[in-house]
Structure 1
Amino acid sequence: MVASEASCALDTIQQEMERLPQGTRRLAVQLRLDLAPEWIWSVLTDYDHLDRFIPNLASSRQLWRRGNLVALEQVGTQQFCGLRFSARVQLELNEEPEQGRLAFRMLEGDFRCFQGVWQVGADDTSTWLLYDLTVQGKPGMPIGLIEQRLKEDLASNLRGVQREAQRRSQQP
């Protein structure tokens, strides 16, 4: 997926998934919207409140900050097949506001691999938000089930960021 692709209609989500070896999945989701990139960035970096507007994120809290490096602890929850599933991660984020880039990687947690990037930018037609995630479950995790939930949830997460950014942009 190319983040600068201009052919995408506004307010449309594009999504792709790649199956990598050893149960690893790479998912990329992009949303184009009519909103200044600064509003989206302010939402993405509101670390202690992400759980208020990102669906299925039960908690999010900043552990520390060292310049442009930030550590977060997040817990996500899912309900499927009548069971509640939760996963905890501690992430290290590298903020690059000039590039609109927020890279993250798991320091510890309930996956073998959980890393990626949020990217915010603008071109002549609109602002775009890209979320690119590479995830690998621990042995015994049903990757097919995780894959399906992630595909559904990532679009929902971008919509949550969009709604909060729109709400903030309309406040006096």
Structure 2
Amino acid sequence: MYGRLLLAGTLFAVAAGAQEPRPEVTFSASREGELVNVFGTVQLPVAPRIAWSVLTDYEGYPRFISQVKESRVIARNDTGVVLQQRGEFGILFLKQTLESRLLVTEQAQRIVLARSIEGPLRDFHGRYELEPVPGGVRLTYHGRFVPDFDLPPFIGMAALRYSLRKNFQEMTEEIMARGQRPE
């Protein structure tokens, strides 16, 4: 009996060790007065072009970011891509639905800049940046905005932080998943 338990434990440990560890995400969201600042970074063992294909798959966001319910390209022109997005954030009983229109510009398959055209996030500016590193790519996000809705001091910021981190994590998981697909 003891021998079987030891064998089962060893097999479990080997199987668990064989799985690739999840990349460590560094993430923060803080408030300074009305302004919310967001930062996230992660190093991923995938080619930069794979990360780029996920970042710019705007209409695919609802498939892999659970809180994005709709993301449509309204226009593409010399100034960038106009996106219409609908989603929600929150935890438990505190849910907020958001509908916004964004102007997105892409720079050299390395930087995606977004700013709000209309919606409940005043002065929204977001920036994804890809930096090639040995063995993969570093994805960094910086964002800032002023919410045009009530955000209760403690639970509101906790719900917002949870939702934003979850979105960033789901984005990185999709990048990893696409990186493991055969080409």
Per the normalisation by structure 1, the TM-score is 0.82
Q: Partner of 2:105 in structure 1?
A: 94
Instruction: Please list, as runs of the form range in 1=range in 2, the aligned pairs for 1:15-164 lying within 5 A after superposition.
Output: 15-21=27-33, 23-67=34-78, 69-98=80-109, 100-124=110-134, 126-138=136-148, 140-142=150-152, 144-164=154-174
Q: Distance in 1 between the 2:172 and 2:38 partners?
A: 19
What amino acid is aligned across from residue 121 of structure 2 in structure 1? F
Q: CA deviation at 1:41?
A: 0.7
Q: Rate the CA distance shift 1:135–1:33 in 2: closer, same or farther, 3 A.
A: same
- 1:48 and 1:157 mapped to 2: Cα distance? 15
**Number of residue pairs matched by the alignment:** 162
Q: Does the 8 A contact of 1:137 with 1:143 survive in 2?
A: no
The answer to whether the 8 A contact 2:84-2:101 is kept is: yes
Q: Which amino acid aligns with 1:112?
A: R
C-alpha spacing 1:79/1:15, structure 2 compared with 1 (3 Å) = closer
Structure 1 counterpart of 2:14 = none
TM-superposed CA distance for 1:105, in Å, is: 0.3
Unaligned runs of 5+ in 1: 1-9
Q: Which amino acid aligns with 2:177?
A: R
> Any idea what SS the aligned residue of 1:140 has?
coil
Deviation of 1:168 (Å): 2.6
The reply to whether residue 166 of structure 1 matches residue 169 of structure 2 is no
Per the TM alignment, residue 12 of structure 1 is displaced from its structure 2 partner at its CA by: 0.7
Identify the residue that residue 14 of structure 1 maps to in structure 2: 26
TM-score, normalization: structure 2?
A: 0.77
| Local SS of the residue matching 2:46 | coil
Q: How well do the aligned residues superpose, as a CA RMSD in angstroms?
A: 2.3
Identity of aligned residues (%): 24
CA distance in 2 between partners of 1:62 and 1:143 (Å): 34
